[in-house]
Structure 1
Amino acid sequence: MYRRDNDRDGLFQVIEVGGMQNQTRLDGLKADSRYFIEVQGFSSAGYGPPSERLQIHTKKAPPSQPPVITHHELKGKSVYIAWEIVEPLADEAEINGFKALYRQQGHSSGTLYTTSKRYIELPLIGNGSYVVEISAHTDEGDGPKAQIQSTGEKAELVKKIIQLKESLDKQKDREDFVPILNEVKTKLENMRHHLILHLEEGERKREVNKLKLQAVEKEITEKERTSDKPEELLRERERLLREQWKLDETKNNNQGQLLNIERLLEPIEIKFT
């Protein structure tokens, strides 16, 4: 028999174990909680006296929410990523550092990096797509992962455009310059089109998330009026707030990339006019 301290009903949960067994496992215990445990034999004649009451305190849980990616930038031959953490709840363990799993798209294994900072700079992987997964590390385990994806091809294209922009006047008389410029212009226009689609989809997700958040806020207010402690709803609100923050950051990043593409396209479009 066991029960958690401060449970409202104060009743013990009962687990029956066969007469030849002298051990069992208690599942579903809440993190960072004190429990009282007693063992009591029973037969067809009734129950015997309980054992001495055992008192235990469960460990704190790993973070329940992933970090929030706040910045993602391709810098030459490296990838720069920054993030913020969501403050651990009272029953969650203190964060000691972060892990970053860096792998190529489609690969299950990769390189694992650790850092105590809230940012990391990684070497760019060739021209293939890559995935970076960031998770908080604690003494009690790792939290869920925040994932970001991008392509080395985009970085190479941007690098190529910058080089072309710098040497536009110097190379304008080359016979093969115009075809190269036209190819790059087409790729940039495709990137611009995809970014616009991502922005439109992101705006839809932001609106849906906003409505969910409003509904949860309303339910929390109603629960608090009856003196209930809506822990699950508070967690859900925290998750939705993080999701809203993430969607806002994604929107800002996409808008920034769109602006950069427009700036890169401007001298090319002038060239063709």
Structure 2
Amino acid sequence: MQFLYGSGEAAALSYQAFFGLANYIISMASDRAVGHDLRSVVMSPGSTLDAPIFEPCGDKPLAVVLDIDETAVLNLGFEADAASGVPYDQARWDAWERTGGGDVTAVPGALDMVKAAKAENVAVVFNSNRSTVNADKTAAMLAGLGFAPVVHGDTLWLQGDAASTGSGKDARRWAIAKKYCVIAMAGDQLGDFTDLFNASAQAFEARRASVGGRYTSVLWGHGWFILPNPVYGSALKGAMGEVFPLDKRWTPPAAGSPATTAPAPEIKEK
């Protein structure tokens, strides 16, 4: 929490991601302006990580899709209590969605990216697991930070929209992609890009490796933009033996062994 909400390093990473995203948006908008055909960066139904399907956009209006929490917005008021030891509670989070709109701040660089997108006539669409019941409060919170206009069902999609269930976002992404040419997406969790990353059958090592696959590795910074979040979410997984495999453990050599004895200096003739 100190890192994400307080450090200059985290702010720098966020600026880096959003300025890179802004440059990418300008590049794609320029390609469209000179007549180049564009493809959506949303994986279509039937895709796999090894065989993704990216549909051509035709003449759909351009859009960038953002997650909200810890991507566009830092939930300072809510997480301050969490940092003090208050355990997560869904009812408390629901109350936060309804009443905490004044105790947030924009992620560094996010509003700069939005300004660049609007200058290129690229819509900014939010896809979040916040509740549809609190849609008006979420829209007002985003507007208060400077992300307006935000319209539920058009530029704001929430859990339950598009018949989505649970925390999966693919159904909403597909609905957004029907109307917009999604040229870029940004999020702090792998599930902000495709639900395939969170397949229940995928082992720990395989999930980490999947972001560097033949088709996924080239998307980072080129359509998909990841923000730092070491506080919560799908990244915080892995047992000790998975994160630090036994074949990579290091044991310091015993004192006085050849490995700890400095070699005699080599004397060279001039």
TM-score, length basis structure 2: 0.24
TM-score by length of 1: 0.24
Higher relative contact order (Cα pairs below 8 Å, separated by 6+ residues)? 2
Q: Higher strand share goes to which structure?
A: 1
Highest CA radius of gyration, 1 or 2? 1
